[in-house]
Each structure stands twice: as structure tokens, then as C-alpha cells.
Amino acid sequence: MTSPDQQPDVPQQFRQRVAIDRIFPDVDGGRFAAKRVVNQPVTIAADIVCDGHDELECRLHVRRAGHEVWTSLPMTCEGNDRWQASFTPGLIGPWEYTVSGRVDYFASWRRDLALRAQAGDDLAGELAEGRLLIDAVATRAPAADAAELAAFAAALSPKDWQQTVHDDRLLTLMSRHADRSLETWLTTPRPLWVDRERAAFASWYEAFPRSWGPEGQHGTLADLADQLGYIADMGFDVLYLTPIHPIGQAYRKGKNNALTATPEDVGSPWGIGSESGGHTAIHPDLGTFADFEYLRQQAARHGMELALDLALQCSPDHPWVTEH
């Protein structure tokens, strides 16, 4: 087994022995963000391989978009070179993630040491190599950690090595101060958009506010607001409104999609725009902005949210058409 310090002087990209492929989730190579829900676990996986049969240490790195510091988490091999780790985003908004992998010479040494011990081999040479690995890492550690590592190296004797090589503190220090100069990182971090729970799933109820008035009368936003309990009791949590803007007279359709309207026909809500206003106005027969706010408050009281139809259709009577 050859340590990084003993490898020939070749360009770094040819010394990086680890390759990363098939990252998941991944939308078009990172052109678009994967989407997940806040406060729910997100599992990131990748195929991570290297030449030979050395052990690997692979890590997941996550951070909020725009932040400089990564939070790193250990990945575990689930078999067939597939590594994964999970994290739980606690904030809504843009995140990004990447993964890395390196050859873990110390883990490889521990594995080989156990095999040789099982076979009854003389372990003196293997233990000497282990001390060299620990000493090399100690040179990169601050004084306190270096002293601990030196003590672990000294404890690698033929009689007491088993307890030492399985000490969690030793494994932590060896990973913390490992040589990562040849660690392979995913070329491009992947974006992740974390949204609220209702963005992932919600039950929508579509309502024509003018249909919620007393029999034979044009309904209002206030009429609809007073009957939200009926909708909420059916399990809906989003109230979707058809356009609530003024409706034009030109080419207005009649009942059952008739091409000619009578004076009593109120028209299609998607024929937006009249002398009463356009997309920033509320139809006078539906009420006022105060009525709309009342509807919003009543919806919130029933655990519901409002969704407005973003309808770009314009009647020829639309103020913008008239002005331009």
C-alpha cells in the first residue's frame, strides 16, 4: 500500500483515484433545482468508485445558497459502490449540495491488519506502517490533537493494538486531519429548492364567487367567505378563485357559451377588462378590496389559503388596450 506522500510527481488530476457518477437527485446535470420539502429528510446518493480495492471515505456537503461554508456529513456505502447520506433542511429557499470521496489509507490499513491477524501473521510490519500513517496525520493536526495521535501511535503494540485501532477517538482524529489534497469532488454542485409542505401537496377547490350568492342573485366575495366552512369540511386546504376582475362587454358570451349575450348575461370571468378596470381591479359586483381581505382572513381561519388564476386574457374593453 502506497501513501499519498510516496506517489510519483504527476499532475493532480491523474493522482485523484476516485470517480463520482450518477448523483441523485439530479435534474439535467444541475441546470434545474431538485425540489424537496422543509423539515423532511433529503437523501443524496452517488456512485463513487476508485481503482484497486482500497477503502473510501465519502462525504455529503450541503449549504444554503450564497453561503461559503459547507456542512459535511459522512456517507455510507449501501452496496455496489452506491453511497448515500441524508440531511433535513430546516429553512425554505435555495440550497445546494455536492459529494466528495477520497481513498482512506487508514481504513484500508485497519481492514488489512484484521485480515492478517485472523490469518495468524506476524503483525510487526503492519503495526509499524500504522504508526507511520498516524504520524503523518499528526503533522497536520494542532498541538492538542497531535499529542493524542502520538499517544495512539505509541499504543500500537503487538499486545494492545486491537483496542487502539477500534478507538472512536482515533478514527475521528484521523478523519478530521486526513490529507484531502487528492479528494475528488463533484464537478458542479447541484441546486436544491426547499419549499413548504403545501407546495408538495394540497387539495384545491375551484370556486366561482358569483355562484355563491342567494338564489337568483349575483354572489359576492363576502358571500363566499361566509360559506367557507362547507368547503373546509370536505378536506380542502386551498381555495382557487376564477378571475375576479371586471368583465368586458365586447364579444361577451352568453349562457352555455352562446356567441350572442343578452343584457342579463354576466360574461366569462376570463374576458378581463372593462371601463371599471383591468387586472388590478375587482369586479364591482363581487365587492371591494376590503371584501377580498375578509375572504382571505376567513380562509385562514379555516386553515385554507387563496390561489388566484393568473389569467392573461384581455377583453377588447381592457383599459390597457384602450390606452395603447
For residue 322, the model assigns a pLDDT of 85
Q: Looking at the chain, how many residues does it have?
A: 324
| Alpha carbons 26 and 190: distance in angstroms, whole number | 7
The cell numbers describing 74, all together, are 459522512
Residues spanned by the domain of 234: 202-323
Task: Share the mean pLDDT of the chain.
Answer: 93
| Alpha carbons 223 and 202: distance in angstroms, whole number | 24
| Alpha carbons 94 and 5: distance in angstroms, whole number | 39
Pairing of strands 204-207, 184-185: unpaired
- In sequence order, the β-bridge partners of residue 34 are 192
Query: What CATH number did the domain enclosing 156 receive?
Result: 1.20.58.80
pTM greater than 0.85:
no
Which of 129, 185, 247 is closest to 12 using CA atoms? 185
The answer to whether residues 170 and 316 belong to one domain is no
Which residues are CB-contacts of 282 (< 8 A; sequence separation ≥ 6)? 221, 244, 245, 246, 288, 289, 291, 292
For residue 6, the model assigns a pLDDT of 62
The answer to whether residues 43 and 116 belong to one domain is no
The answer to whether residues 111 and 209 belong to one domain is no
Which residues are CB-contacts of 136 (< 8 A; sequence separation ≥ 6)? 3, 5, 179
Higher pLDDT, 158 or 208: 208
Q: What is the 3-state secondary structure (H, E, C) of 258-291?
A: CCCCCCCCCCCCCCECECCECCCCCCCCCCCHHH
Domain count, the chain: 3
| Alpha carbons 285 and 288: distance in angstroms, whole number | 9
| Alpha carbons 221 and 212: distance in angstroms, whole number | 8
% of residues, the chain, pLDDT over 90 = 84
For residue 5, the model assigns a pLDDT of 58
Last residue of a domain, one of 164, 197, 230: 197
Give burial (CB, 10 Å; 0-12/13-18/19+) of 149: buried
| Alpha carbons 113 and 123: distance in angstroms, whole number | 7
The answer to whether residues 240 and 307 belong to one domain is yes
Is a pLDDT exceeding 90 seen at residue 110?
A: yes
**Residue 214: cis peptide before it, omega within 30 degrees of 0:** no
The answer to whether residues 156 and 294 belong to one domain is no
The answer to whether residues 71 and 125 belong to one domain is no
User: pLDDT per residue over 175-207, tens digit each?
Assistant: 999 999 999 999 999 999 999 999 999 999 999
Cβ atoms of 97 and 62 closer than 8 Å: yes
% of residues, the chain, pLDDT over 70 = 96
Residues 115-132 have a mean pLDDT of 92
The answer to whether residues 79 and 128 belong to one domain is no
Which residues are CB-contacts of 143 (< 8 A; sequence separation ≥ 6)? none
Query: What CATH number did the domain enclosing 209 receive?
Result: 3.20.20.80
Query: What CATH number did the domain enclosing 88 receive?
Result: 2.60.40.10
Q: How confident is the model at residue 20 (pLDDT cuts 50, 70, 90)?
A: very high
User: pLDDT per residue over 127-140, tens digit each?
Assistant: 999 999 999 999 99
The answer to whether residues 122 and 171 belong to one domain is yes
